[in-house]
Amino acid sequence: MAFKKSGPVTMPPHVLLSSFAAPLFQVSSSPGSWRTRPPPCTSCHLLPSSSSKPLLGSYDYFLFKSLTLSPHAVNPEADSSTRRMKEVKERTWEAFYRAWDSRAAMEMVETVERLGPSYHFEDEINVLLQRFRDRNASEDLFITALCFRLLRQNGFLTHSDVFGKFTDKNGKFKESLTEDIWGMPSLYEAPHLGAKKEEVLAGAKEFTRTHLIWSMPHMEPHFSSHAGRAPELPRHPRMVRLEARNYIGEYSRESNPNLAFQEPAKLGFDMVQSLHQKEPAEILRWWKRLGLVDKLDFARDRPTECFLWTVGIFPDPRHSSRRTELTKAIATLLVIDDIYDFYGPLDELALFTDAVKRRDFGARDQLPEYMKICYMALHNTTNDIAYRTLKEHGWSAIEHLKRTWMDILEEAKRFNGGYIPTLDGYPANRVISGGTCMAPVHAFFFMGKGVTKETKAMMEPYPKCFTSSGKILRLWDDLGTSREEQERGDVTSSIECLMNEKNIALEDGARKHVRQLTGSLWIELNGELVAPTGLPLSTIKASFNLSRTAQATHQHGNGNTASSVQDHVQSLFFNPIGFQTRSPNHRNVTLSNGRHAQELGNW
């Protein structure tokens, strides 16, 4: 196979190709080349993926690809929106500075964080949170629970014993609390940030859930809307941008919404949405130049789905470059995952793994033709990300990034060699082979906060918050795609492990058990907020966001992942607040926040 070299590209020694530049090597497209699909692997009884088509519908692709036609297009309303945002932010600042009443101040922080524009007011929020931490414990259930949750989710050390005053001598919550129509929903949210050995929070969760489910049908509409979606899914595990989208609608329907918070939320959402239309346009141009799925037609073509994941992990609009670079890494991972799961025979997988391990660019010459382009993409994308991190932050991440890839490939090779894990070992093993630690490792170096010699050493082995969030992702992925993957010959899922080892006859029973496992893993993950390990809070939050995005994507179960992704893409990237959009056949489509309500049966 002939390769031809492009014009000279000036790069550091370890970077062979910037992912934003023309390819250094191009595969010949002459007749008889390997562009067509090679025969399926017979040595490991795997078939090419039957799900290589995008999860997004043709309408979504048309909208995104139309953006790539005008890469330098300017939104004429951008300047006026920026000026308007500056004006409304001043009113919000004034509202914060006037907030001396504890309850009002806490509700302000809660409202701004749920509506989405909290990144504009970080200093003001931190001042208020510090004041909450230093004040004496309140006898008010609503204030105590809200204060506990705001402090803990923002990294302030707080203890669950503040709820002791609401229990009787037997440690049970007092029945008189059920009459507190504001306090009970607030108490219900707090335990979902609980960690191990916080028994009082475990008791609060059961006490409040049982009461809320029973009482909501009898509540007046105003109080029922306050309780909201809590019994279905508490606030803590909700995907940040989806929660902002949903809550903006809910807040606007309240009897007396505060315009100082409502207006910057609506304006900010539409401004961020405009940004989220430009970012995937850049990614799709890169993806087209890379040409992986043109050469490997069995591979998944899902760069926009990958982008949705990075919006979940990095919801702050200031992290645009982080989203773009991580999307590239995830999109490349999906293609490699398809080679290992569905296509490559074991001897060729061993060659690919060895080539990556050797880190010798000449090793590509030993690979079969269809693997060479994938090796090039992996090598160049990883080195380009490492170069950008070095340039922006001044430290080298190349060894850590490459180690994540080696772990992925070694574990994937084990699974495809016939290794079947036990139920206890399944999540941990599939976390590595599924590449779920790759995203938080990249996030750690991307964020540029708290990266020291000591914290870099914590990347080996992976920190617990990385593995806990990775297990949550893996289990939710099984809940959302296990039937599809079983049909196309993928490796064993947690559901199958459960049915085999626990002798569970019905799949629904196994699914219920997997959901319970995800709840236990959230408790482990929350432990990072109780006993910090030294990792930067921004990295810990990225791990939480990874888990939230997994749930938002796969929460509706088998066969519905594609529709969930399409719904979220439309809601977050195309449908402005307060407007209607048009479907491909030009029928009006009214926005429905209810459709995006995140449901969960076992919390």
pLDDT tens readout for residues 121-130: 888 899 889 8
Structure-model confidence comparison of residues 480 and 418, the more confident one: 480
pLDDT at 20 over 60: no
In terms of DSSP H, where are the helices of 291-302?
A: 292-295
Tokens 């919390």, residue?
A: 603
Structure-model confidence comparison of residues 396 and 546, the more confident one: 546
Note the pLDDT of residue 190. 95
What is this structure's pTM? 0.80
Share of the chain above pLDDT 70, in %: 70
Query: How many angstroms separate the CA atoms of 194 and 531, rounded?
Result: 12
First vs last C-alpha separation in the chain: 56
Q: How confident is the model at residue 602 (pLDDT cuts 50, 70, 90)?
A: very low
Note the pLDDT of residue 189. 94
Q: How confident is the model at residue 48 (pLDDT cuts 50, 70, 90)?
A: very low
Note the pLDDT of residue 266. 92
Helix (H, G, I), strand (E, B) or coil at 588: strand
Mean per-residue pLDDT of the chain: 76
Q: How confident is the model at residue 237 (pLDDT cuts 50, 70, 90)?
A: very high
Note the pLDDT of residue 460. 84
Q: What is the mean pLDDT of residues 108-134?
A: 90
User: What CATH number matches the domain at 98-266, 3.10.310.10, 1.50.10.130, 3.30.420.40, 3.40.50.720?
Assistant: 1.50.10.130
| Single-letter amino acid code for the residue at 193 | L
Residue 584, number of CB atoms within 10 A of its CB: 11
Note the pLDDT of residue 596. 32
Helix (H, G, I), strand (E, B) or coil at 491: coil
Q: Residue 252 contacts by C-beta under 8 Å, 6 or more apart in sequence?
A: 262, 266
Domain ranges of the chain: 56-69+267-579, 98-266
pLDDT at 91 over 70: yes
Distance of CA 491 to the CA centre of its chain: 23
Mean pLDDT is highest, among 40-44, 314-318, 350-354, for 314-318
- At the topology level of CATH, where does 56-69+267-579 sit? Farnesyl Diphosphate Synthase (1.10.600)
Q: How confident is the model at residue 444 (pLDDT cuts 50, 70, 90)?
A: very high
